[in-house]
């Protein structure tokens, strides 16, 4: 058993720090939280739950600018890069991530290697090949479907490969030639049938949604999360916010994952103002937000969630505590992992982030972790120490 003593503790939910000053880990679990436990002196450090990025793509290289370049990479090159990305993520304090798309299930291989302890990295939930229309967004990943029956075959194929959830491309996207973010890729009846087919196999659905029509279809179909939620109208511009759809999102308990990354300022002040207005209205409608970056798209590195959180907080008008909840307890709830991670309590997985400074006052404290513990494995001083046996 390892005990981290004399540490300031935030449990992932509360407005302020806990009265406890010690946390004990055995194997991959938290076994005690209290005061005055004997152990390693961590004076000057704050411990909080490991961070969760709800939208990443492990197969994508952020240094590449086009889909053609990404697809042209050889599998052995992609595997090598993915291992490095995963280690960079966990050392940056990201202990869980949801992977929302790839073409050859390489991210599932990585997930399993991390689970086995063969390589370092965060816990991964993986969607495999996204369901998309013929020639639609990310069609090159192999999930094309002309109708609901074909989509069910895509879902069955993902189940055979052991995915954790299903990704649906409800609208077009920005990186696929001849695809328009404003356009819904399936009508309402087909979208609802696809979501029902996934649910029948035990899967939640994360829906890629830029255009308002696609957001509406996804909400009515009852997806688990809406990714991006950009409110792009028929004119191809942001600003087509629909309060009725927002109310349906809230009433159905659908999570909104707005994929705000550290470099979001490149979209300009007008886009930022619209995003802020939309997120404010979503919150007022009762919608719940999670932290996500879309890591892997051009110039968005996988390890940069901590850099993105201040941007997310500013655009969504969140306090540091609220932003941290979106990246810990709320993120875990959205991913169906609330019993395992996202909060610090006895019996939870030992996913811990140790930082200097006061993250409840200044999110910049997250930028240089002093130590990370991911499912009991320690990462500090350039080395990992495996989880100790029970």
Q: Annotate 13-27 with three-state secondary structure.
A: CCCCCCCCCEEEEEC
**Domains of the chain and CATH, by start:** 2-49+341-385 (2.30.40.10), 51-334 (3.20.20.140)
Can you read off the two tokens belonging to residue 91? Answer: 């050392």
Can you read off the two tokens belonging to residue 366? Answer: 């997250």
Positions of the chain with pLDDT lower than 50, given as ranges: 388-390
Q: What is the pLDDT of residues 48-76, one digit of tens each?
A: 999 999 999 999 999 999 888 998 999 99
Q: What is the pLDDT of residue 384?
A: 60
Q: Which H or E run contains 86?
A: helix 75-91
Q: What is the spatial distance between Cα 314 and Cα 72, in angstroms, rounded to a whole number?
A: 37
Q: What is the spatial distance between Cα 155 and Cα 386, in angstroms, rounded to a whole number?
A: 36
List Cβ neighbours of 319 (8 Å cut-off, separation of 6 or more): 313
Q: What is the pLDDT of residues 100-134, one digit of tens each?
A: 999 999 999 999 999 999 999 999 999 999 999 99
Question: In whole angstroms, how far apart are CA 304 and each of 4, 60, 210, 259, 368?
Answer: 26, 15, 23, 12, 11
> Strand 51-56 to strand 94-99: parallel, antiparallel, or no bridges (unpaired)?
parallel
Q: What is the pLDDT of residue 175?
A: 84
Paired residues of 99 in beta bridges: 56, 126
Q: What is the pLDDT of residue 385?
A: 62
Q: What is the pLDDT of residue 302?
A: 98
């Amino acid at each position: 058993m390892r005990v981290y003593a004399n540490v300031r503790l935030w449990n992932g939910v509360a407005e302020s720090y806990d009265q406890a000053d010690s946390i004990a880990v055995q194997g991959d679990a938290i076994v005690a939280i209290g005061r005055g436990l004997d152990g390693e002196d961590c004076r000057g450090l704050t411990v909080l739950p490991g961070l969760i990025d709800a939208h990443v793509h492990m197969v994508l290289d952020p240094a590449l600018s086009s889909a053609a370049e990404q697809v042209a990479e050889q599998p052995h090159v992609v595997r090598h890069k993915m291992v490095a990305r995963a280690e960079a993520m966990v050392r940056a304090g990201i202990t869980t991530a949801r992977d929302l798309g790839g073409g050859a299930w390489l991210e599932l291989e990585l997930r399993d290697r991390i689970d086995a302890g063969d390589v370092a990295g965060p816990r991964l939930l993986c969607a495999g090949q996204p369901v998309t229309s013929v020639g639609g967004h990310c069609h090159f990943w192999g999930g094309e479907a002309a109708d609901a029956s074909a989509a069910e075959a895509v879902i069955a194929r993902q189940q055979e490969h052991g995915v954790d959830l299903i990704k649906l491309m409800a609208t077009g996207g920005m990186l696929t030639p001849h695809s328009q973010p404003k356009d819904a890729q399936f009508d309402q009846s087909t979208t609802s049938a696809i979501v029902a087919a996934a649910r029948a196999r035990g899967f939640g659905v994360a829906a890629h949604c830029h255009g308002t029509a696609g957001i509406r279809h996804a909400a009515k179909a009852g997806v688990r999360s809406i990714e991006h939620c950009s409110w792009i109208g028929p004119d191809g511009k942001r600003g087509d916010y629909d309060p009725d759809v927002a109310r349906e999102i809230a009433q159905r308990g659908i999570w909104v994952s707005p994929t705000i990354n550290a470099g979001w300022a490149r979209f300009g002040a007008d886009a930022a103002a619209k995003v802020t207005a939309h997120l404010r209205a979503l919150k007022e409608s009762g919608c719940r937000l999670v932290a996500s970056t879309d890591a892997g798209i051009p110039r968005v590195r996988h390890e940069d969630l901590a850099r993105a959180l201040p941007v997310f907080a500013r655009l969504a008008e969140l306090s540091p505590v609220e932003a941290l909840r979106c990246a810990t307890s709320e993120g875990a709830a959205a991913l169906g992992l609330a019993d395992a991670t996202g909060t610090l309590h006895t019996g939870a997985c030992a996913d811990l982030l140790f930082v200097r400074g006061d993250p409840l006052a200044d999110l910049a404290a997250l930028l240089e972790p002093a130590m990370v513990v991911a499912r009991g494995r320690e990462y500090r001083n350039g080395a990992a120490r495996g989880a100790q046996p029970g």
